[in-house]
A and B are shown apart, each in its own frame.
Chain A
Amino acid sequence: MNPLRQAYRSLWQPASPAPLTTLRIVTGLVMLVGSLRFWSLGWIETNLLAAQLQFKYAGFEWVQMPEPAWLLYAVFGAMVLASLGVMLGYRYRLSAWLLWGSFTYVELLDLTWYLNHYYFISLLLLLLALLPAHRHLSLDVRLGRVQPFSSLPGWMVALPRWQMGILYVYAGMAKIQSDWLLEAMPMRLWLPAHSSEPLLGPLFAWTYTPWLFSWAGMLYDCTIPFWLSWRKSRPWAYLTVIVFHGLTGWLFQIGMFPVVMIAITLVFFDANTHLHWQKRFFGSWAAVQGAAFRVARPWVLLTGLYLAFQLLFPWRFVLYPGDFFWTEAGYRFGWRVMLMEKAGTATFYVTRADNEREGLVDNAEFLLPHQEKQMAMQPDLIVQYAHWLKQHYEKQGVPVAKVRAEVYVTLQGKPSSLYFDPQLNLLELNPRTYPHWLYPAP
């Protein structure tokens, strides 16, 4: 039999649902903790409700803050309940779609809070909502609401692993460039800030530590899915997952994500390991029972299209000219994590249409510090803000003829330089098109 055909057939081999069950439980748990944490830290208020404007994702301009604003708390309430539902496998389809919907809605509210990890969680929740992850060890089965399945087609169990594999390998490939490997940037800027940590502190002040971290990080990201897939190296690989994410979590302000990654990576373990632990925790309840699940062929086609999209979409940056870090065209949704230290200072000037008078905008009047920081270095956000300023002043009865900005951007700790012509009328630009108006990278 030819190998391609063999590989295709193996995708259809019945596989135990156990790994998917663990994934469902830990994802629900992590989402539960994550949403409660977000709430209890007051971030619903300080990060979302306190903002006067929201920066939009291209194509998702229609996603608006809830009206009245307290409904956002209801959205988080739904997220908490849905996380519980997913974890317990109770009214699973409803819970899983609700969780995906509420989480994704919150992420789409304001682009300045974009994180690769949030995007990853959105994708994972979508996969979980589509997969039958509740047909084993769930309340739905226990209550007789659905029939249990003893096996699923192999590709269904493999799908979350592939998704994780893409994340890691793409994150690793993005690190194969001279800034990261030869200059050890931005590690060289970030690590020494930790030289006062106990125990490991002196290590961060050592000359070669940033290179060590850069190379180890690249090699880890590029290869870890393979080490996790190979039975012999798996326990060691998982140990490095814990060490790697533990270390980054300790060093950088990345909140919950180390825990998320450590928890979700469990899906790489084989079915027997999962069953072993599930039986420890849940006893006979964890026994696999029921019929084999069969799936309609069109789903396979859709899954293939989804994976193709995942593989191709991060490459769209090659279609754009110019320095990638400078323009950020095609930067998001590409698993580019920790690659650059970029910051800007943006001063906006608004010209009135009636008396031609130009006034200076105090960004702090309209933007959260985080929003200003993000806006000041991303071309599409700069244009969005300019358009918002026009709207804002015109609502107050001040006709606006022009909004211009003097923006200086620094990349990888290099001296800052002018981002574009400060005389350019930003109102004539579209935030959704390629920023051809930027000066070339210094």
Chain B
Amino acid sequence: MQRLLLLSLLLVALVGCKDEPSGPSGQGFDRGQMLAYYADNHIQPAYDSLSLAAQELHSRLLGLATQPQSGELTELRAAWLSLYLRWQSASIYNVGPAAEQGLRKRLAEELGTFPVSEAKIEQYLSAGDTSFANFDRDSRGLFAIEYLLYKGTSTEVLARLAQTPVRNYLMALSNRFKSESQRVANEWRPYRAEFVGSTGTSAGSSTVQLYNEFLLSFEGLKNFKLGLPLGLRMGQNQAEPQKVEALYSGASLAGIARQWQALEAFWRGNGSTGFKAYLLASAGGNELVNRTEQQLLVINARLAACGTGRLDSLITTNPQPAIELHTELQRNTRFFKSDLSSLLGLTITYSSGDGD
């Protein structure tokens, strides 16, 4: 054993003397610091801001006149739009109190399922069922609220808002969104210590959970917010523009842009920490960061080319810019997925297992 050790030390010394190696991957990188940064600068602010916007919308609904006027509707819609945009950055984390637990799904699914089912909403609404004691997530959440605030002409919406069952259902939807976003924001504060303290890289560690949610969110953006309405998915025979997110308000492209900004900001970090800094501290990370940066530039250009109009109209009239955006996101997948996880030694499976 001693001989073995001596021999190996000798050989290591020999190799080591030849030339200065670039050292281990992620040498000296402080994951605890990275987690604290994400918790304090990305996650908690996003949840707090979401919770605030939800309260704002709800208090506006509480003060809604029995016969609301168009000015009130404009204000309600502005409040919803603000909530929708904040949702884009708040929905990409889904860890800790926002993770799936028991019957409760991840925050992103629990409050942001789309497209919603108009039939189901109408059915629960007319039955006066505001219990949400069912698995029809497409009958509630952010986009059910949107449906009630935007579907039809302003006059139609105003007329409906004067009806008690509609108001009741809308209030219940908004109340649920408010309490759930508040719960996550409140529970995240005490959870922070546990989150930041889990500095390992095995399945279930904070870094791996956060990274997997980041990936899931990125793939969701590509597959469901673009691929699905564009009709690019196998099994679709044509584009299905009615399946865009935020169909009724027509704010899809603004939402997509906001989510993409949040994902990009997450990857970039603040220069001294975050996934980009983690990569730069790793053997071969420079090259991957350069390639990723180039691709991010291309994606941002394609995103800008999609304009600021309605995504469903774009898909119907001239889908090419949206298809190109989807293609470039697809090209980026490997940089976020296999290349990054491989270089940093992160697992992309969700549970641990045996290994060689």
Interface residues of A (CB under 8 A from B): 43, 46-47, 113, 115-118, 181-182, 184, 188-197, 204-212, 215-216, 219-220, 223, 227, 233, 236-237, 239-240, 252-257, 337-338, 341-345, 347, 349-350, 355, 357, 359-362, 364, 368-370, 373, 376-377, 389, 393, 396, 398, 408-410, 413-416
Q: How far is the CB of B36 from chain A (nearest CB, A)?
A: 13
Any chain A CB within 8 A of the CB of B178?
A: no
Asked if residues B355 and A252 are in contact (CB atoms below 8 Å), the reply is: yes
**13 interchain pairs, CB-CB under 8 A:** A189-B283, A189-B343, A189-B344, A212-B9, A240-B4, A253-B352, A362-B223, A370-B349, A376-B338, A393-B234, A393-B235, A410-B342, A415-B284
Any chain A CB within 8 A of the CB of B341?
A: yes
Who on chain B is nearest to A260 by CB?
B354
9 more A-B contacts (CB under 8 A) besides A210-B24, A239-B1?
A: A117-B356, A204-B24, A212-B8, A215-B8, A219-B7, A227-B1, A347-B333, A373-B348, A416-B334
Asked if residues B338 and A344 are in contact (CB atoms below 8 Å), the reply is: yes
Any chain A CB within 8 A of the CB of B159?
A: no
Asked if residues A370 and B342 are in contact (CB atoms below 8 Å), the reply is: no
Binary per-residue interface labels of chain B (232-247) against chain A in the complex, 1 for a CB within 8 Å, 0 otherwise: 1111110000000000
Asked if residues A369 and B348 are in contact (CB atoms below 8 Å), the reply is: yes
Asked if residues B354 and A117 are in contact (CB atoms below 8 Å), the reply is: yes
Q: How far is the CB of B222 from chain A (nearest CB, A)?
A: 10
Who on chain A is nearest to B343 by CB?
A413
How far is B341's CA from A220's CA once the two chains are assembled, in angstroms? 29
Q: How far is the CB of B48 from chain A (nearest CB, A)?
A: 28
Asked if residues B199 and A196 are in contact (CB atoms below 8 Å), the reply is: yes
Asked if residues B283 and A413 are in contact (CB atoms below 8 Å), the reply is: yes
Q: Between A and B, how many residue pairs show CB distances below 8 Å?
A: 189
Q: How far is the CB of B311 from chain A (nearest CB, A)?
A: 18
How far is B333's CA from A419's CA once the two chains are assembled, in angstroms? 15
Between A43, A208, A219, A410, the greatest number of chain B beta carbons within 10 A of the residue's beta carbon is seen for A410
Any chain A CB within 8 A of the CB of B339?
A: yes
Q: How far is the CB of A425 from chain B (nearest CB, A)?
A: 15
Binary per-residue interface labels of chain B (273-289) against chain A in the complex, 1 for a CB within 8 Å, 0 otherwise: 00000000011100110
Q: How far is the CB of B74 from chain A (nearest CB, A)?
A: 39
Asked if residues A373 and B349 are in contact (CB atoms below 8 Å), the reply is: yes
Indicate which residue in B202, B233, B333, B345 contacts A345 across the interface (CB closer than 8 Å). B333
Who on chain B is nearest to A196 by CB?
B199
A contact residues around B355 at 8 Å (CB): 115, 252-255
Q: How far is the CB of B71 from chain A (nearest CB, A)?
A: 44
Asked if residues A337 and B356 are in contact (CB atoms below 8 Å), the reply is: yes
A contact residues around B202 at 8 Å (CB): 253
Asked if residues B28 and A205 are in contact (CB atoms below 8 Å), the reply is: yes
A contact residues around B288 at 8 Å (CB): 415
Between B4, B201, B344, the greatest number of chain A beta carbons within 10 A of the residue's beta carbon is seen for B4
Asked if residues B24 and A115 are in contact (CB atoms below 8 Å), the reply is: no
How far is B208's CA from A193's CA once the two chains are assembled, in angstroms? 11
> Given contacts A192-B29, A196-B32, A253-B353, is CB(A415)–CB(B11) below 8 Å?
no
Asked if residues B8 and A192 are in contact (CB atoms below 8 Å), the reply is: no
Indicate which residue in B1, B12, B26, B233 contacts A237 across the interface (CB closer than 8 Å). B1
B contact residues around A415 at 8 Å (CB): 284, 287-288, 291, 339
> Given contacts A337-B356, A415-B288, is CB(A46)–CB(B233) below 8 Å?
no
Q: How far is the CB of A372 from chain B (nearest CB, A)?
A: 8
Between A113, A240, A255, A343, the greatest number of chain B beta carbons within 10 A of the residue's beta carbon is seen for A343
Who on chain B is nearest to A236 by CB?
B1
Q: How far is the CB of A161 from chain B (nearest CB, A)?
A: 20
Q: How far is the CB of B215 from chain A (nearest CB, A)?
A: 10
Chain B residue total in the interface (Cβ 8 A):
62
B contact residues around A181 at 8 Å (CB): 15
Interface residues of B in 176-221 (CB under 8 A from A): 199-203, 219
Who on chain A is nearest to B207 by CB?
A193
Asked if residues B27 and A205 are in contact (CB atoms below 8 Å), the reply is: yes
Binary per-residue interface labels of chain B (320-356) against chain A in the complex, 1 for a CB within 8 Å, 0 otherwise: 0000000000100110011101111111111111111
Asked if residues B1 and A193 are in contact (CB atoms below 8 Å), the reply is: no
Asked if residues B236 and A359 are in contact (CB atoms below 8 Å), the reply is: yes
A contact residues around B350 at 8 Å (CB): 369
Asked if residues B347 and A253 are in contact (CB atoms below 8 Å), the reply is: yes
Any chain A CB within 8 A of the CB of B102?
A: no
Q: How far is the CB of B142 from chain A (nearest CB, A)?
A: 23
Between B339, B341, B350, the greatest number of chain A beta carbons within 10 A of the residue's beta carbon is seen for B339
Indicate which residue in B5, B31, B341 contacts A196 across the interface (CB closer than 8 Å). B31
Between B199, B282, B288, B337, the greatest number of chain A beta carbons within 10 A of the residue's beta carbon is seen for B337
Between A192, A338, A355, the greatest number of chain B beta carbons within 10 A of the residue's beta carbon is seen for A192
Asked if residues A219 and B8 are in contact (CB atoms below 8 Å), the reply is: yes
How far is B346's CA from A189's CA once the two chains are assembled, in angstroms? 10
Q: How far is the CB of A254 from chain B (nearest CB, A)?
A: 5
How far is B345's CA from A338's CA once the two chains are assembled, in angstroms? 13
Asked if residues B24 and A369 are in contact (CB atoms below 8 Å), the reply is: no
Binary per-residue interface labels of chain B (4-48) against chain A in the complex, 1 for a CB within 8 Å, 0 otherwise: 110111011001100001011111110110000000000000000
> Given contacts A193-B26, A208-B16, is CB(A240)–CB(B345) below 8 Å?
no
Asked if residues B233 and A47 are in contact (CB atoms below 8 Å), the reply is: no
B contact residues around A182 at 8 Å (CB): 15
B contact residues around A370 at 8 Å (CB): 349, 353
Who on chain B is nearest to A338 by CB?
B356
Interface residues of B in 141-192 (CB under 8 A from A): none
Asked if residues B233 and A359 are in contact (CB atoms below 8 Å), the reply is: yes
Asked if residues A46 and B27 are in contact (CB atoms below 8 Å), the reply is: no
> Given contacts A115-B356, A360-B234, is CB(A410)–CB(B201) below 8 Å?
no
Indicate which residue in B25, B333, B354 contacts A189 across the interface (CB closer than 8 Å). B25
How far is B21's CA from A31's CA once the two chains are assembled, in angstroms? 43
Asked if residues A197 and B352 are in contact (CB atoms below 8 Å), the reply is: no
How far is B234's CA from A357's CA once the two chains are assembled, in angstroms? 9
A contact residues around B287 at 8 Å (CB): 415
Who on chain A is nearest to B203 by CB?
A253
B contact residues around A210 at 8 Å (CB): 24
How far is B11's CA from A342's CA once the two chains are assembled, in angstroms? 27
Who on chain B is nearest to A115 by CB?
B356
Asked if residues B12 and A212 are in contact (CB atoms below 8 Å), the reply is: yes
Asked if residues A190 and B8 are in contact (CB atoms below 8 Å), the reply is: no
> Given contacts A359-B236, A408-B334, is CB(A192)–CB(B351) below 8 Å?
no
How far is B356's CA from A430's CA once the two chains are assembled, in angstroms? 28
B contact residues around A206 at 8 Å (CB): 24
Asked if residues B284 and A413 are in contact (CB atoms below 8 Å), the reply is: yes
Asked if residues B29 and A220 are in contact (CB atoms below 8 Å), the reply is: no
Asked if residues A416 and B338 are in contact (CB atoms below 8 Å), the reply is: yes
> Given contacts A210-B24, A219-B4, is CB(A413)–CB(B342) below 8 Å?
yes
Between A118, A239, A337, A369, the greatest number of chain B beta carbons within 10 A of the residue's beta carbon is seen for A369
Asked if residues A360 and B233 are in contact (CB atoms below 8 Å), the reply is: yes
B contact residues around A359 at 8 Å (CB): 232-236
A contact residues around B223 at 8 Å (CB): 362
Any chain A CB within 8 A of the CB of B227?
A: yes
Q: How far is the CB of A186 from chain B (nearest CB, A)?
A: 8
